[in-house]
A and B are shown apart, each in its own frame.
Chain A
Amino acid sequence: MTAMTKKPESPVAHLTTEDIEQLGRELDAIRQEVLDSRGARDAAYIRKVIKVQRSLELGSRAVLLASLFPPAWILGTAGLSAAKILDNMEIGHNILHGQWDWMRDPKIHSTTWEWDSASTAEGWKHSHNELHHTYTNIVGKDNDLGWGIMRVDEDQPWTPSAMLQPLMNFLNMCIFEYGIAMYDLELGATLKKRKLGIAPSARFKRELTNTLAKIRKQATKDYLIHPLLSGPSFLTTLAANLTANFVRNVWSHSVIMCGHFPEGVETFELSAIPEKETRGEWYLRQMLGSANISGSKLMHIMSGNLSHQIEHHIFPDLPSNRYAEIAPKVRALFEKYGLNYHSAPLPQQVASAWHKVLRLSLPNGWLEATDRHNLVPQLKRLYTMVTGDRRTRRQLQKELDVFLEGAAAARTQPA
């Protein structure tokens, strides 16, 4: 995806400054409606989800005490996976957003909550709430865009190492909770700085200590205490816990990729964001930079209502159970202002996101220019680009660019 402002046709060109501010006011009105009606029903909802999660976890762990018995293993592992997903998605993510702070219940509060994950609540709140939600989809500023390990935009120069990114993304998916912990620590940036002789900050050292302590506790629980409690089922329980953590990693990685990564979701240039972005402009960026997943009620809950990523990004602090309710109103505003409400079923969004990872791992235009008939010459060209020097690479890229322009021109010309 090319940053929105660099596109020949901006998707917001038809909106005036006044339109954008009016859009902001209309969204504020939706938000206010929810705030005014927030009450006992919502409180009962989150308490119920927490109760279901804890009961499911207790029950599954109890069943796993006999995990040597295959049906028990399957049932326990499935239950534990679901419980771990609920803990991270519908409960942890949303409580840490402060969505339930209004209840003034010290047990369900963003400042006291901790979750079943390798990353500490404190570190995650900084990187997620503060950086990602404020600088959503601004290339280079929002690390969620490729988690700092991927090429996420055509404008980022292509290097042969980018070809590893589908593999990197796959590995990140498998160990996602540790990936998030490293990313919350800004481990990559800190290591780079260290090479340049810049000492890590006090904040980093503190966060590192906390994260390592958390990882140790988490691992002790899943890979030592519960297997030991299972006695003869030690190994099978260990495998069950590994599997449950893996299932959650794959699931949360997939859901999160769908939020901002599918084809067609806009990215932004830092230089094009006004110094004082108005509330309307900020809303607009959230609207264009997010994508929803359509599906059943169960899917919405298991995704932590991140399936309503658009609504969540516009109103990150509204209770998650309300996103589904306001979605039709938000969608109507998209239509009214001529904007694209990006929503598709889960398999489609996951495929689209992976397609983008693959496409950007290759030189700009290569995937588009390749079909069955020219596969061999195209592979040769790619090989030359990977092995050649920068000049060769530039030269071949120019040829691909010409192809891309031709294809674009053909699309706009009437048949």
Chain B
Amino acid sequence: MVSVPAPAPRFFRRGATTGGRAPGLGEALRDRLWRVAEAATTPFAPADYLDLFHPLRPGADLRGRVVKVVPETADAATIEIKPGADWAGHTPGQYVRIGIDVDGVRHWRAYSLTHGPRSDGHISITVKAVPGGKVSSYLVRRAHRGTLVHLEQAAGEFILPEQPGKLLFVTAGSGVTPVVGMLRNLFPVTDEGVVRLRRSAALDVVVLHVAPSRPDSIFIRNLEELDTAGAIRLLPRYTETHGRLDVEELGQLVPDLAERTTYACGPHGLLDALEAHHQRHRLSLQTEQFRVGSVVTAEGGRVTFTGAAGSGTALDAAGDTPILDAAEAAGVLMPSGCRMGICFGCVLPLKEGAVRDLRNGELTVAVPGETGAGGVPIQTCISAAAGACTIDH
């Protein structure tokens, strides 16, 4: 496959020209060889054949292989992954988008990277199995050594400045993972205990960790170890013993709150409350959030076309009408074919929202940042809106 001409992989480009020098003989030869390889494998790409033998090679689409699955609690595990050769590294606190096939279907999710850069080049994510969560349950219970996953380069702005000063981390549930990633980088833990690096000497870190109970807390042992070593001050808040955290209590829990920069990661109810609180008190806050609320509302919904052909048209589509019909009625020039769900001539990418298959009622949901970057392809002739939808067309 691959209809788009791919740039020559890096290993054929090594020794590339620098500073506008004319291409060297070696490079010209390599380029020519690569073109011969392309002509010999058309309509496929040489990569389609190389992938058979070496999916993690330089120049391949970014993938990784699971090397270890370590259970953390009853429903959480740390997955250690050897990334492909083109992995560009990451900064603690960043996350990675991982594509994994669950029951044959590719799903993408974002997870915090729990280690700082490691000497063996591996990366790790810690996953809590969310009840009903397809991907998280798969990763915790079914992923094993050797499982191939798809990756994107690390991303995320939730990283510490060069001179962090006094910090407060507010973490809830699995929101602790990016924070643990940062802390591990600041205070590496070895068999001999916590190493106090010079660059971390001036740090003053408080971690306010919110969870239902202690056994339900991933990484609680790591946090307690750092607390015992005096690297951080841990304030655990277990809902079952302390009751629900009210953000107004923050001032009592952390008396020097005003001097600290707050980093918060957790469900958006907590983040919203913190944002309101910090804004009122003019405090600095940085937040990170992965999961968004449910997109499936009542049947039917507003369909927006964002591409060139749809030119921003928005229309209200009923829950029992194919999006194709609704869009055509509104004057959008739509690709179409058999109009009965067999020819796939009408497929368009759903960027955000949910649609229902009119033949069997099945829902397809697209969440930016979770489902593929190009959206989820849907057949518009048999799909009705099930909530607000954004379609690229």
- When A40-B104, A43-B104 are in contact, do A316 and B342 touch as well, CB less than 8 Å? yes
Contact with A along B1-28 (1 / 0, CB 8 A): 1110000000000000000000000000
Q: Are A126 and B344 in contact (CB under 8 A)?
A: no
* Residues of chain B within 8 A of A316, CB atoms compared: 342
Q: Are A103 and B342 in contact (CB under 8 A)?
A: no
Q: Are A114 and B1 in contact (CB under 8 A)?
A: yes
Is A322 an interface residue when CB atoms closer than 8 A count as contact?
no
Q: How far is the CA of A116 from the CA of B41 in the complex (A)?
A: 10
Q: What is the distance, in angstroms, from B20's C-beta to the closest C-beta of chain A? A: 33
Q: Are B39 and A125 in contact (CB under 8 A)?
A: no
Contact of B345 among A32, A116, A125, A226 (CB under 8 A): A125
Q: Are A110 and B105 in contact (CB under 8 A)?
A: no
Q: Are A102 and B1 in contact (CB under 8 A)?
A: no
Is B32 an interface residue when CB atoms closer than 8 A count as contact?
no
* Residues of chain A within 8 A of B345, CB atoms compared: 125-126, 129-130
The total of Cβ contacts below 8 Å across the A-B interface reads 115
Is B243 an interface residue when CB atoms closer than 8 A count as contact?
no
* Residues of chain A within 8 A of B103, CB atoms compared: 39-40
* Residues of chain A within 8 A of B362, CB atoms compared: 35
Other than the given A107-B1, A218-B42, 15 more pairs (CB < 8 A) read A54-B49, A54-B52, A97-B344, A102-B105, A108-B1, A110-B347, A129-B344, A134-B342, A217-B42, A217-B43, A218-B43, A221-B41, A221-B42, A225-B40, A229-B40
- When A104-B372, A129-B337, A217-B43 are in contact, do A111 and B347 touch as well, CB less than 8 Å? yes
Q: How far is the CA of A51 from the CA of B341 in the complex (A)?
A: 29
Is A156 an interface residue when CB atoms closer than 8 A count as contact?
no
Q: Are A134 and B101 in contact (CB under 8 A)?
A: no
With CB as the reference atom, state the residue of chain B lying closest to A115: B43
Q: Are B43 and A116 in contact (CB under 8 A)?
A: yes
Contact with B along A142-184 (1 / 0, CB 8 A): 0000000000000000000000000000000000000000000
Contact of B43 among A106, A114, A225 (CB under 8 A): A114
Contacting residues of chain A (24-77) with chain B, CB-CB under 8 angstroms = 28, 32, 35, 38-44, 51, 54-55, 58
Q: Are A35 and B360 in contact (CB under 8 A)?
A: yes
Is A98 an interface residue when CB atoms closer than 8 A count as contact?
yes
Q: What are 24 A-B pairs at a CB distance below 8 A? A: A43-B101, A58-B49, A101-B344, A101-B347, A103-B104, A103-B105, A103-B106, A104-B105, A104-B107, A104-B377, A107-B1, A110-B347, A125-B343, A125-B344, A125-B345, A129-B338, A133-B342, A217-B39, A217-B42, A225-B36, A229-B40, A279-B340, A317-B342, A317-B344
Q: What is the distance, in angstroms, from B309's C-beta to the closest C-beta of chain A? A: 16
The count of residues in chain B whose C-beta lies closer than 8 Å to any C-beta of chain A is 35
Is A220 an interface residue when CB atoms closer than 8 A count as contact?
yes
Is A325 an interface residue when CB atoms closer than 8 A count as contact?
no
Is A331 an interface residue when CB atoms closer than 8 A count as contact?
no
Q: What is the distance, in angstroms, from A119's C-beta to the closest C-beta of chain B? A: 11
Q: What is the distance, in angstroms, from B224's C-beta to the closest C-beta of chain A? A: 39
Contact with A along B355-376 (1 / 0, CB 8 A): 0000110100000000010101
Q: Are A221 and B39 in contact (CB under 8 A)?
A: yes
Contact with B along A213-251 (1 / 0, CB 8 A): 010011011000110010000000000000000000000
* Residues of chain B within 8 A of A58, CB atoms compared: 49
Is A109 an interface residue when CB atoms closer than 8 A count as contact?
yes
With CB as the reference atom, state the residue of chain B lying closest to A36: B360
Q: Are A130 and B104 in contact (CB under 8 A)?
A: no
Chain A: residues with CB nearer than 8 A to chain B? 28, 32, 35, 38-44, 51, 54-55, 58, 97-98, 101-116, 121, 125-126, 129-130, 133-134, 214, 217-218, 220-221, 225-226, 229, 279, 282, 316-317
* Residues of chain A within 8 A of B48, CB atoms compared: 54, 107
Q: What is the distance, in angstroms, from A201's C-beta to the closest C-beta of chain B? A: 16
* Residues of chain A within 8 A of B41, CB atoms compared: 221
Contact with A along B324-366 (1 / 0, CB 8 A): 0000000000000110111111010000000000011010000
Most A CB within 10 A of own CB, among B49, B105, B359: B105
Q: How far is the CA of A44 from the CA of B101 in the complex (A)?
A: 11
3 nearest A-B residue pairs (beta carbon):
A43-B104, A98-B344, A129-B343
* Residues of chain B within 8 A of A28, CB atoms compared: 359
Q: How far is the CA of A279 from the CA of B2 in the complex (A)?
A: 35
Q: What is the distance, in angstroms, from A63's C-beta to the closest C-beta of chain B? A: 15
Q: Are B1 and A112 in contact (CB under 8 A)?
A: yes
* Residues of chain A within 8 A of B1, CB atoms compared: 107-109, 112-114
* Residues of chain A within 8 A of B2, CB atoms compared: 107, 112, 114
Contact with A along B250-269 (1 / 0, CB 8 A): 00000000000000000000
Q: How far is the CA of A51 from the CA of B105 in the complex (A)?
A: 19
* Residues of chain B within 8 A of A112, CB atoms compared: 1-3
* Residues of chain A within 8 A of B377, CB atoms compared: 101, 104, 109, 111
With CB as the reference atom, state the residue of chain A lying closest to B37: A225
Q: Are B49 and A104 in contact (CB under 8 A)?
A: no
* Residues of chain B within 8 A of A39, CB atoms compared: 103-105
* Residues of chain B within 8 A of A218, CB atoms compared: 42-43
Q: What is the distance, in angstroms, from A97's C-beta to the closest C-beta of chain B? A: 7
Q: How far is the CA of A247 from the CA of B163 in the complex (A)?
A: 71
Q: Are A55 and B52 in contact (CB under 8 A)?
A: yes
Q: What is the distance, in angstroms, from A403's C-beta to the closest C-beta of chain B? A: 42
Q: What is the distance, in angstroms, from A394's C-beta to the closest C-beta of chain B? A: 40
Q: What is the distance, in angstroms, from B100's C-beta to the closest C-beta of chain A? A: 11
* Residues of chain B within 8 A of A116, CB atoms compared: 43
Most A CB within 10 A of own CB, among B1, B104, B359: B104
Contact of B344 among A32, A106, A110, A225 (CB under 8 A): A110
* Residues of chain B within 8 A of A105, CB atoms compared: 101, 106
Q: How far is the CA of A110 from the CA of B36 in the complex (A)?
A: 27
* Residues of chain B within 8 A of A110, CB atoms compared: 344, 347
Q: How far is the CA of A115 from the CA of B48 in the complex (A)?
A: 13
Q: How far is the CA of A109 from the CA of B338 in the complex (A)?
A: 19
Q: How far is the CA of A42 from the CA of B121 in the complex (A)?
A: 34
Q: How far is the CA of A101 from the CA of B348 in the complex (A)?
A: 12
Q: What is the distance, in angstroms, from A136's C-beta to the closest C-beta of chain B? A: 10
* Residues of chain B within 8 A of A104, CB atoms compared: 105-107, 372, 376-377
Contacting residues of chain B (92-136) with chain A, CB-CB under 8 angstroms = 101, 103-107
Contacting residues of chain B (43-69) with chain A, CB-CB under 8 angstroms = 43-44, 48-49, 52
* Residues of chain A within 8 A of B52, CB atoms compared: 51, 54-55
Q: Are B340 and A282 in contact (CB under 8 A)?
A: yes
Q: Are A130 and B340 in contact (CB under 8 A)?
A: no
Q: How far is the CA of A210 from the CA of B52 in the complex (A)?
A: 29
With CB as the reference atom, state the residue of chain B lying closest to A315: B342
With CB as the reference atom, state the residue of chain B lying closest to A228: B36
* Residues of chain B within 8 A of A113, CB atoms compared: 1
With CB as the reference atom, state the residue of chain A lying closest to B360: A32
* Residues of chain A within 8 A of B49, CB atoms compared: 54, 58
* Residues of chain A within 8 A of B105, CB atoms compared: 39, 43, 102-104
Q: How far is the CA of A201 from the CA of B127 in the complex (A)?
A: 55
Q: How far is the CA of A279 from the CA of B360 in the complex (A)?
A: 14
